[in-house]
Amino acid sequence: MTFKFNNVYVGNTATVVGPYEKEGPLGNKFDKTYDDLYNGEKSWEKAEAKLLSESVDILLKKSKKKKEEIELVVAGDLLNQITASCYGLEKYKIPFLGIFSACSTSTEGILLASTLIDDARVKNAIVSVSSHNMASEKQFRNPTEYGAPRPKTATFTTTGGASILLQSAKSKVRVESATIGKMCDMDQKDPNNMGAAMAVAAADTIYTHLKDTKRDANYYDLIITGDLGLYGKDILLEYMKSEYGIDISSNYNDSGVMIYNTERQTEVLAGGSGPACSPLVNYSYTIPLLEKGTIKRLLIVATGALFSPTMVYEKEPILSISHAVSLESVK
Amino acid sequence: MTFKFNNVYVGNTATVVGPYEKEGPLGNKFDKTYDDLYNGEKSWEKAEAKLLSESVDILLKKSKKKKEEIELVVAGDLLNQITASCYGLEKYKIPFLGIFSACSTSTEGILLASTLIDDARVKNAIVSVSSHNMASEKQFRNPTEYGAPRPKTATFTTTGGASILLQSAKSKVRVESATIGKMCDMDQKDPNNMGAAMAVAAADTIYTHLKDTKRDANYYDLIITGDLGLYGKDILLEYMKSEYGIDISSNYNDSGVMIYNTERQTEVLAGGSGPACSPLVNYSYTIPLLEKGTIKRLLIVATGALFSPTMVYEKEPILSISHAVSLESVK
C-alpha cells in the first residue's frame, strides 16, 4: 500500500547521539554528542528519554518554532511501553500518537504524519524516535555487565534520539510517497541475527514500492535500508536479485553499516541497529545531500525486527516489517 | 486536535472474550466466548494472539469480506513489542501499522484508520486490539500464581480480542470525528490505582473535544470512558465539574464498570481494564444501540495508563493519555 504526497516538506531534523556514534564516520554531522552513555541521568531508560527530548528541543530551536506551533507528535521506541517516547515527550503537551514498529518506527511515523499534513489536517508535525544501547541490551538480552559473548552477526543498538519536523510550508526536501509494509516470517529464531529476519521484509517493501509507483530501482539515487547490518545487507542484495530479478547493488546502502566504522569499531560487530539507526544516518547525512541537491531522490527503507524475548523463549520466530519513505530534492 | 470525518462508516465489529467477561452483564452479546483462559494455546501470550486473530476471522466472516479486500490493519496491545498484534496478525499479510497507546489503543487506531478512509487513501481498514488478564498480570505485576493481594482500587485486565471494520461504504453508523489526546502526569505512582492516573487524561480529552467541536456535553447520548473503573469514574465526574464546570453525570458511564458486575464478580475489584475493555463494551453494546437508532450520538473516550514497571521502579509517575472518537447513527 503506497501513499503519494504533494504538499509535505521536511522542515528540519535533529540528532543527538552517544559515544559510539560520535566515533563513527558520521560523528561530526550530529547536532549533539555525549561521551557518557548515562548523559547525566541515573538510568539507561532516563538517558534514552533525554536523548529523545533533546532532539526535539534542538529541532524546535533550529526551526525557530515554539512547541505550541507543533500540532502533533508521532513517536515510538524499543523500550517496553515506548517509555522513552512517553517520558521524553510528556512535558511538551503536544497531541501525541504512540506507535510501535521496532526499528522501522521512524518511517511509520513519517508516513503517518505526512498523510495528515498532505490531507491538510495538520500543518506542523514532529516525528521522534530513540534507542539506547544499554537500555536495549538490558531489556532484550542480558545486562552488558554480564559480559556475554555475541556472534559476529549480532548488531549493536545505536544510542541516539532523532526528530524530524514535517510541514506543509515549502522547503528544499519533500516527502514524495510512502509504502506501508506487511509483516514477514522467515522462521528466524536467533536474536543475534536480526538482519536475516529483516532482509526479506525490506525486500518485500522495496518491491511493493517499486511496483506501486511503477519505478525501476535506479529511479532512486540512493536506497537506504536499515538496520540490516553487514550480513543482512548481503542477504537483501541476493534476495532482491533471486526473488525479484532486481539489482540494487549500485545505489544501495544500509544505515547499520553506515553509522559505524565496522572495521575499526569491532565492538559493533555487524553494525548498528535500533529505531534511531536509520534516522540518525538519514537525518544527518542523506537528507542534507537532498537539501544540497547532490542527490535528487532517496528511498528510506527502515526495517524492524518485531523481536519479543517472551515469544522467542516460547520457540516462536522473530517477525519483521519494513516501511519505506521516498524523499525528493525540491528545485 | 480534533479531526472531522464525512465518509467513514462502521462496517462491522467482532469480539472474542474469556470467562470473566462471559459472566458479566454483556456476556451474551459477544461473538465468541471461552471458558478457559488458555483457549487451547500453550501460553498466555499465544492465547491473547489467538483472541485477536479470531476476532479478525469473525469480523471478515460477518462482513463477507476476504482478507485481500482489507487494505490496512492498525493494531496494538499491552504486551511488550505488541506481541499479540504481531503474532495474531502476521498470517493475514495485510499492510500493518503497529501502535501503542496502552488501553486507549482502540480509539487511536480508529482515528488513524478513519483519517485514511476519509481522505480517500484506504477503502477498508481493520482496527484490532487485545488484552489478556494473565498475560498482563505476568508482565506488569506478578504472576497470579503468587497470590499477591490487591487493593480495591486495582482494576482487572479484560481478556478479549476486539476488531472493527471501518469503510468508505455507507452503513448505519458513521465515525464523525476524533480527538487526539495529550499525555498527562498526575504524579500518580501506584500501579494498583490506574483510574486515578487516567481520569485527568480523559477529562482533558473530553474538554478538548467539546471545545474543538463547540458542543455541550449533553450533545452526546452517551459518553463512555474506559477503563477508569469505579474509583476513576468518580474522580472524572468530580474533576470535570470542578475543573471545567461540566456535569456529565446524566449521560456518562465507564467501560471498566460496564463490562463486569462489580458487586457480584468481586475478583474484578474496581472493574475492567486493558486495551480490549473499551472496544468490548462499545462494539458489543453501544455501537449496536447506534445501529438500532436507540441512541444517536456516542463519544468513546478510551483511556490509557502508559504504565512502565521499569519507570515505576525508578520512582517515576504513571503517565496517561486518552483519545476520543465520536460515532453517529446514520438515518
pLDDT band at A331 (very low <50, low <70, confident <90, very high): confident
Average pLDDT rounded to a whole number, residues A292-314: 96
B307 touches chain A (CB under 8 A): yes
CB < 8 Å from B in window 229-288 of A? none
pLDDT value of position B263: 92
- CA A289 – CA A297 distance, rounded (Å): 10
pLDDT one-digit tens code per residue, A199-249: 999 999 999 999 999 999 999 999 999 899 999 999 999 999 999 999 999
CB < 8 Å from A in window 51-80 of B? 71-72, 76, 79-80
Q: Which of B1, B116, B321 sits opposite A71 (nearest CB)?
A: B1
A302 touches chain B (CB under 8 A): no
Å between B60 CA and nearest CA of chain A: 18
pLDDT value of position A152: 92
pLDDT value of position B287: 98
Average pLDDT rounded to a whole number, residues B314-326: 96
Tell me the average pLDDT of chain A: 96
Place of cell 537525518: A283
pLDDT value of position B148: 82
pLDDT value of position A59: 98
CB < 8 Å from B in window 77-116 of A? 79-83, 86-87, 89-90, 93-102, 108, 112, 115-116
| Chain centre distance of CA A320 | 14
Dig out the grid coordinates for B215 from the structure.
458542543
Q: Helix, strand, or coil here: B220? A: coil
Chain A residues touching residue B96 (CB < 8 angstroms): 180-183, 321
pLDDT one-digit tens code per residue, A134-172: 999 999 887 777 878 889 999 999 999 999 999 999 999
pLDDT one-digit tens code per residue, A34-74: 999 999 999 999 999 999 999 999 999 999 999 999 999 99
DSSP string, A244-288: H----TTSEEEHHHHSS-TTT-GGGTT-EESTTHHHHHIIIIIHH
Dig out the grid coordinates for B175 from the structure.
465515525
- CA B251 – CA B235 distance, rounded (Å): 16
pLDDT value of position B141: 80
- CA B39 – CA B42 distance, rounded (Å): 9
pLDDT band at B194 (very low <50, low <70, confident <90, very high): confident
Average pLDDT rounded to a whole number, residues A88-99: 98
- CA A185 – CA B208 distance, rounded (Å): 42
Contacts of B237 by beta carbon, 8 Å cutoff, 6+ apart: B248, B249, B252
Q: How many CA atoms lie within 13 A of B231 on its CB side?
A: 15
Residue in B97, B124, B200, B319 to test binding to A, most A beta-carbons within 10 Å: B97
Q: Which of A42, A46, A182 sits opposite B95 (nearest CB)?
A: A182
Chain A residues touching residue B182 (CB < 8 angstroms): 93-96
How many other CB atoms sit within 10 Å of the CB of residue B192?
17
Chain A residues touching residue B137 (CB < 8 angstroms): none
Sign of CA dihedral A269, A274, A278, A279: negative
Tell me the average pLDDT of chain B: 96
pLDDT one-digit tens code per residue, A184-209: 999 999 888 888 889 999 999 999 99
Q: Which of A90, A180, A182 sits opposite B93 (nearest CB)?
A: A182
Average pLDDT rounded to a whole number, residues B166-174: 98
Chain B residues touching residue A209 (CB < 8 angstroms): none
Place of cell 524546535: A60
- CA A257 – CA A281 distance, rounded (Å): 10
Residue in B96, B121, B198 to test binding to A, most A beta-carbons within 10 Å: B96
CB B158, CB B259: distance < 8 Å: yes
Q: Which contiguous run of DSSP H or E holds residue A234?
A: helix A229-244
pLDDT one-digit tens code per residue, B2-52: 999 999 999 999 999 999 999 999 999 999 999 999 999 999 999 999 999
Q: Which of A94, A180, A306 sits opposite B182 (nearest CB)?
A: A94
Report helix angle A229-244 to A194-213, nearest 10.
40
DSSP string, A41-74: -SSHHHHHHHHHHHHHHHHHHHHT--GGG--EEE
pLDDT value of position A315: 94
Q: How far apart are the first and last CA of chain B?
A: 28
Beta strands in chain B (DSSP E): 2-4, 9-17, 32-33, 72-77, 96-98, 124-131, 156-157, 160-167, 173-179, 184-185, 222-226, 252-254, 272-273, 297-306, 319-329
Average pLDDT rounded to a whole number, residues A108-135: 98
8 Å CB contact of B121 and A3: yes
Beta-bridge partner residues of B76:
B129
Place of cell 487513501: B121
pLDDT value of position B53: 98
Average pLDDT rounded to a whole number, residues A82-106: 98
Chain A's closest residue to B118, CA to CA, is: A119
pLDDT value of position B146: 80
The pTM of this model reads: 0.98
Q: Helix, strand, or coil here: A128? A: strand
pLDDT one-digit tens code per residue, B174-192: 999 999 999 999 999 988 8
Looking at per-residue confidence, does A302 or B226 come out higher? A302
Chain B residues touching residue A310 (CB < 8 angstroms): 45, 79-80, 83
CB A163, CB A201: distance < 8 Å: no
- CA B228 – CA B197 distance, rounded (Å): 9
Å between B268 CA and nearest CA of chain A: 24
8 Å CB contact of B98 and A101: yes
- Please check the confidence at residue B118 and state whether its pLDDT lies above 80: yes
CA torsion angle A224 A225 A228 A230 (round to 10): -30
8 Å CB contact of A81 and B308: yes
